[in-house]
Structure 1
Amino acid sequence: MSILSANRMTSDIAGRDFLASIVVFLVALPLCMGIAIASGAPPALGLITGIVGGLVVGSLAGSPLQVSGPAAGMAVLVFQLVNDHGLIMLGVVGLIAGGLQLLAGIFRLGQWFRAISPSVIHGMLAGIGVLILASQFHVMLDDAPRASGLANIAAIPEAIIKGFPIDDSVHHLAAMAGIITILTIMLWNKFKPKRLALLPGPLLGVLVGTLFAFAFALPITLVELPSNLTTALNIPTVEVLGGFLDMEILTLGVVFAFVASAETLLCATAIDKMHIGARTNYDKELRAQGIGNLVCGALGALPMTGVIVRSAANVEAGATTRISAILHGGWLLLAVIAFPFVLNTIPTAVLAAILVYTGYKLVNVAQIRRIAEFGRQELAIYVVTLVGVVAIDLLTGVILGFALATLKLVYTFSHLEIETSYDKELNRVDMWMTGSATFFSIPQLSHALEKSPFGAEVHIHVEKLDYIDHACLEMLSSWEKLHQSTGGSLTVEWSDLVKRYARRAQDPSQTAIPNLMKRPAA
């Protein structure tokens, strides 16, 4: 390759990354402020997290095309923290979470954070979506969210009534701006022209909603950003840092680290499927996220994760390196320093409308159908996690879902179905085993075998067997010797299993079979 060709290729890559950074910036700007408001924090703290996510984490990330910043998935946790302990404790929890993530990355625990049932993850995200939608529905009407998720849901009918012009309040005016914002996003996503496909729907929604409020001079609440970003910092004081010794604060730090890591690595996996470039180094990504959250904690800003909406926009815009993620952080910093007066014209109802739409998308009805295809058990795990997150709290919901997924795993590896038929004329017993034959199943299997008449020809069919362990094989071998002493025989139809392997090998749509131990030679 000539030097000229190499320069052209480098220039082309830089150009695509530059364009992608603009697109990601336009997506991130309204979301950073909206998520901060949903978290009960000033919009400036969300923008600071977005800046750190771009400039710091973007430079260190193990997933080069992933974009980090404040996430809707963390908004519920942050809101509860701010509500219960005050905004000043946000930095302490961020420092704890960041430190734990950094340690997890150093000790190479990145892959283990992915060892969570997808049904639990999607149930958690759906529960968060319901909570965000319910709380931001009230903010979209210039009203205050209620104290809990269930209270927010129960108050939605009252909020709908407030959306009509029945008194002298401004709720219906804010609702109009919010509805127009949502309609703009939906219509744009459905009918946007190909030439303008990179223009993000949330940004267009903010522009249209803001212009509507400005044109009619609606007396509704606007975003408040300080002229100097340093005045918005929420740096923990020495006294507040004593929260490190508070068990409740430490627990929250662990929860923040767990949820942020799970959401980040889930996002990284999804982004890997969207491009053919470098794959994610999960431990490096965790270390980068840990450093980013340590910085955000030191500044008292919102916690961060890898975020799917901004990351997907980055890939779709043609990004090829980490430069686009880094630059988007620079554009956020420039916007806050140079144009705070422009951002202060945005109504909070418009930003809340974006979060209402985001919450709806997090529920993802199509994902529910896909989970249902894997059986009622997976759907039950999803529903239990969702209900637990909404009705109790996020940590309890995840623990309930994880416990149910663990019980399902135990059931799967301990459940064995045995069907038996007996032909008197041939004195032959046929036994079909379905499921997993483990040491848990030995009493059941022994009971079924002992029903066989003396001298019978016993055939065990294993075509539908997923797994058999050494304990069961030893038991079959022992029983075979005992049965032979009565004149009978035992035949395990391993040929059925060979045929099953052959069919699976010829059909790529079939999943692989767990390794089945070979029967020891007689």
Structure 2
Amino acid sequence: MNTTQIRAALPRELLASVVVFLVALPLCMGIAIASGMPPAKGLITGIIGGIVVGFLAGSPLQVSGPAAGLAVLVFELVRQHGMAMLGPILLLAGLLQLLAGRFRLGCWFRVTAPAVVYGMLAGIGVLIVLSQVHVMFDAAPLPSGVDNLLGFPTTLASALPQESNAWQAGALGLGTIALMWGWERFKPQRLRFVPGALLGVATMTALSIWLALPVNRVQVPADLSEAIDWLRPDDLLALADPTLLVAALALAFIASAETLLSAAAVDRMHNGQRSDFDRELSAQGVGNMLCGVLGALPMTGVIVRSSANVQAGAQTRYSAILHGLWLLAFVVALSSVLQQIPVASLAGVLVYTGVKLVDLKALRGLGRYGRMPMLTYAATALAIIFTDLLTGVLLGFALTLLKLAFKAARLKINLVTLDKPGHMELRLSGAATFLKVPALTQALDSVPAGTTLHVPLGNLSYIDHSVLELLEDWGRASRANGSRLRVEQRGLKRRIEGRLRRAVQV
């Protein structure tokens, strides 16, 4: 893009960047709180995601920043290993993403079955809701989803007495949710660019100030540099711990999968430049490495901010870059405004976001492909809720592989007598793998002596060497009793034609 084109596009990109900034501001802080981190950490990640990743990105209209999809994983990592260990984990995860992009592995991260991804997001959404309903009442979330569910009646009971301040915080959180829901359904077309999260948080903040409500408010340092925890060289020695290496791998994989699925979704929203997934993956790696060095939250490409960017008319990466500059300017110049925001209102934003992550339309869509994808979705989500994120994702992958193995084992075997005397046909349909060797052996053993057996392979989707060897052995062993084997090779790949030719000759 030349200088003239940049000048022509700048007003449109400026407007789009303001819209994205307004969407990103409450989400950056809310996701940080849901992750068990100070709100300023989320703002740092949003700034890096806008300015640095926006400049390097392979998906020009995608916006990067803290993601609700990683909040549960980060919360667990901080709880188990402490906030100081998040930096080394994130540095290694970012390095893995950078290397994956350089080695052009971006397309492989998109191989993840949709049922696993949707189930992962649904499980994360439920966990976010279960934890943030406590924060809505100015209470601390508990370590697990089950604990949060069982502990909610206690939190609610403590908020009921009139002398408690918790019910006031809860009212602000519920008010934020109500405003976001109402705005999404009834917003005027002329004001569609105004994000519901900003409207809800701004309204509840103004109401809490006007009524002087004694609720917990966001703690943001006046100087953003105070929120930076530089990575120390000694911290890198902790990566010798295998559990931290596994955590880095899990973080890299989940962040990459979420980023590239979001990039693919953004591509479907516009007709402009398509995403370069390898470049996008490398850019995310650089961004996460910087976040690790500064002690901030991990980032991904995020669909909510990206869709707001497209809908606001952005056509270049300058909108994402400018939104990062707006975040930086707001935090530097108006940190006192952020300090007036009730924590309960941001929790309301996260509860609403968590509910939206449980996409029932996606579940119904999976139903078109059979029961197994729906089972994978439900099993992944439930495992995440009742165990942990990594276990849930691994279970989802295991079920996907089980489905593939089941498909690979499906083979219809029919032994048919032909009209010509002494001729039979072994009809095979499906995948002829070693799993079906016993059934094939039984069918071949039932062929009468002196029979010419025809084996057409046109209906096979796959045939492996074990089945080929079985046919060869039968043809060779049956020659003594006058039987003949005729294998029809049409439609097969060259690399197995020679093997079958030998089978025919015996």
In the other structure, the counterpart of 2:443 is 448
Task: State which of 285, 292, 296 in structure 2 corresponds to 1:297.
Answer: 292
In the other structure, the counterpart of 2:431 is 436
- How far apart, in 1, do the equivalents of 2:233 and 2:247 lie? 19
Residue 181 (str. 1) matches residue 203 (str. 2): no
Task: State which of 145, 148, 173 in structure 2 corresponds to 1:149.
Answer: 145
- How far apart, in 1, do the equivalents of 2:402 and 2:426 lie? 27
- How far apart, in 2, do the equivalents of 1:483 and 1:138 lie? 77
Task: State which of 246, 252, 261 in structure 1 corresponds to 2:247.
Answer: 252
The structural deviation recorded for 1:268 is: 1.4
The within-5 A match list for 1:36-185 is: 36-162=32-158, 165-185=160-180
CA contact (8 A) 2:475 2:483 kept: no
The structural deviation recorded for 1:347 is: 0.6
- Equivalent position SS for 1:68: strand
Q: Which residue identity lines up with residue 294 of structure 2 in the other structure?
A: L
Residue 25 (str. 1) matches residue 9 (str. 2): no
Q: Which residue identity lines up with residue 347 of structure 2 in the other structure?
A: A
CA contact (8 A) 2:453 2:483 kept: no
- How far apart, in 1, do the equivalents of 2:357 and 2:321 lie? 26
- How far apart, in 1, do the equivalents of 2:361 and 2:73 lie? 26
Per mean C-alpha deviation after superposition, the further-off stretch among 270-279 and 27-36 is: 270-279
CA contact (8 A) 2:489 2:497 kept: no
Per mean C-alpha deviation after superposition, the further-off stretch among 403-412 and 217-226 is: 403-412
Q: Which residue identity lines up with residue 117 of structure 2 in the other structure?
A: I
Can you give the 5+ residue segments of structure 1 that lack an aligned partner in the other structure?
498-513
- Equivalent position SS for 1:377: helix
- How far apart, in 2, do the equivalents of 1:130 and 1:515 lie? 51
The structural deviation recorded for 1:144 is: 0.9
CA contact (8 A) 1:126 1:386 kept: yes
In the other structure, the counterpart of 1:16 is 12
- How far apart, in 1, do the equivalents of 2:54 and 2:17 lie? 11
The structural deviation recorded for 1:244 is: 2.9
Residue 215 (str. 1) matches residue 210 (str. 2): yes
The structural deviation recorded for 1:412 is: 1.6
CA contact (8 A) 1:433 1:464 kept: yes
Q: Please give the per-residue CA displacement for 1:163-216, whole angstroms capped at 9, x wherever unaligned.
A: 5x3342122211111111111111111111111111112111212222332333
- Equivalent position SS for 1:373: helix
CA contact (8 A) 2:449 2:481 kept: no
The structural deviation recorded for 1:470 is: 6.0
Q: Please give the per-residue CA displacement for 1:342-387, whole angstroms capped at 9, x wherever unaligned.
A: 1111110010011111111111111111222222222222222222
The count of aligned residue pairs is: 499
Q: Which residue identity lines up with residue 180 of structure 1 in the other structure?
A: G
- How far apart, in 1, do the equivalents of 2:215 and 2:24 lie? 23
Residue 373 (str. 1) matches residue 371 (str. 2): no
TM-score of the two chains, using structure 2 as the length reference: 0.89
TM-score of the two chains, using structure 1 as the length reference: 0.86
Task: State which of 10, 19, 30 in structure 2 corresponds to 1:34.
Answer: 30
- Equivalent position SS for 2:214: coil
Identity %: 49
Task: State which of 280, 283, 292 in structure 2 corresponds to 1:288.
Answer: 283
The structural deviation recorded for 1:419 is: 5.1
Q: Summarize the Cα distance change of 1:363–1:433 in structure 2 as closer, same or farther, 3 Å threshold.
A: farther
In the other structure, the counterpart of 1:391 is 386
Can you give the 5+ residue segments of structure 2 that lack an aligned partner in the other structure?
none
- Equivalent position SS for 1:354: helix
In the other structure, the counterpart of 2:318 is 323
- How far apart, in 1, do the equivalents of 2:216 and 2:461 lie? 61
- Equivalent position SS for 1:276: coil
- How far apart, in 2, do the equivalents of 1:343 and 1:358 lie? 20
- Equivalent position SS for 1:436: strand
C-alpha RMSD of the superposition = 3.1
Q: Summarize the Cα distance change of 1:464–1:48 in structure 2 as closer, same or farther, 3 Å threshold.
A: same
CA contact (8 A) 1:130 1:359 kept: yes
Q: Please give the per-residue CA displacement for 1:251-310, whole angstroms capped at 9, x wherever unaligned.
A: 322222222112111211221222222222222112111111111111111111111111
- How far apart, in 2, do the equivalents of 1:227 and 1:309 lie? 28
